[in-house]
Structure 1
């Protein structure tokens, strides 16, 4: 699998499927077909439209699509994005709310590097913007990063987070969603040892695998069943000549997408079948629920091979975070060094990706943190997506997180706080 040929073959299949959909849509929409008293041409055009849209989204980076936000003054303020720290593998992006004074709450939202773009957190950002100034980690597609930029593994990821936190200052409130939770905890511990004055004010970890063995899931079972040699042979490919990252070893986004969809193949199949019927009947819309969801879900990015493999080997198999044995840049990272950063854990009762208990394990590792600065919340009936972007987030978790930020921000002077986060 570790060859450019396999990567190009997969991209060729995607491209051909997109072309096939376009051809079917065009042929089925030909005016003369209206003379035929059968529905097959409408179905062909509908099938082609859905297929073409789906396969074209797999190579497109979605836009944030957050145009404005209503301020406390009752006016709509335009929203733009600006990169404040540029790195080869990811930028720190700030959402600029035009005409609004800096907010007391300054939030760093750490997005996953797990196959989807940071825009997966679009609704999370949109829900926080009315009450916070928001920064997001915007990870880059590995296929677009030249080999000359070097490697990127979990240690590099952790150091990126350290740089971002240092840039934003000690008044920042960090929220890590899913996959980056253990490395965000490690970055905070790294700062506690090296630059204690640069630690964030609070740390919220949402549904992350701090200790994958605390509550086994299909994901953790897979990690135990497969060997690293098998994983490297099956999952890793070399980027083809079409992209700037030609020759870079990656876990391709298309391969990840196939894995995602296979976990709920029947549900996805039914969703696309229903959408084809709606399209044929003229009931589908460009921005309907199906298209909004799958435009984001199908937009995948390649992951650096060394990041994916080191995540599986060191965090899932080796349990280096769970056992407090992680080493970054030759320095042991002791999570017990965190002594004054308030930490909140959020889990979903029905989370089948990071089951309840995996993220909660972080509190046991925080041996130097007083009990009155440790908090947890288990959201009843919530799945993985719901705890950071769904109804559970909007109605219950978001208010709890904002209250936590307000109660445990350190009580520092607001003017100093705002000055410290200016880029």
Structure 2
């Protein structure tokens, strides 16, 4: 029954995507380049990174988003099955409802990595806890492989969780080739992450191709320069005086002004990294943390992103008066689920060290991403946040042995016939 529901929902999600126009973004050329389709695979040039997504996008655009949505839905369904094992059946249906949140559905028809990555990270987190309970390593390995191939920049969190569960279980995943595959992919993902950060990018608002360190410095500036004490701190860290001569709008709208209307010295300062996020946190902690904890992104997260899609726009036109209230309610529900998941993972009891460490790793990784990449805070936090609820649920259910293992146990336990010799 569960897998029937999963397949039906997967077909519905894929069909829904096929009826909608694909959504492109500034990052899309990293994965889809109709003029030179194979150029996106040049990870050594900082393209992507994400070979699985790039291979899917070799298909015609609408077909690619349909395949992406289908794969994401199937992986999400598998994650729900794994996370709810050993629990009452209705937990599966709750998990499946969680997989249909707009936080995840939003990305199905977008030419970026989120749709598949988020599903894979959910499967990986659930599978990791089930493997520690001496179940099959297949869901954990499959989730890690898909996540690393779809979005190699998840490598820090994937690596930490793998170390935690290997230490907790006291052995490597079996068969041995799966551990070797994970090791190779972790190294490959690390190489791609380095290439990605070193390669110049050429967004339309930039005066010239720049490395990601400079791009992120600009993102942080337009996101947090309004924070009390930010400008004074930036000046102490070398920001030129000419920056104050130009009024720079807050958020994405300020990027063009920041990079083209300020003086060359400002561009050079940003190229050197601008105001480091560590300095914001250590030298101006109060205002910085208040901004992060009370920003509009907490309650408006997916609402603005959704309006880039004509399908979601039409829904807003039908229900204009309750669109933003509904967005805020959905976000409040999702943040509550994640907070409860963290509390549940940190509960006293069996394997407390593993559970608390995983929660700390996920929340810490999300916090670090939010600090050094302020502009797209919510979107880039999702691969870390999505692991919390599946991990919390998977940590709850009792161990469930596979049919093959149960049969083997019964065979070993059955009395053997005495020899007639």
TM-score, structure 1 as length reference: 0.23
Whichever structure has more helix as a proportion of its residues is 2
TM-score, structure 2 as length reference: 0.23
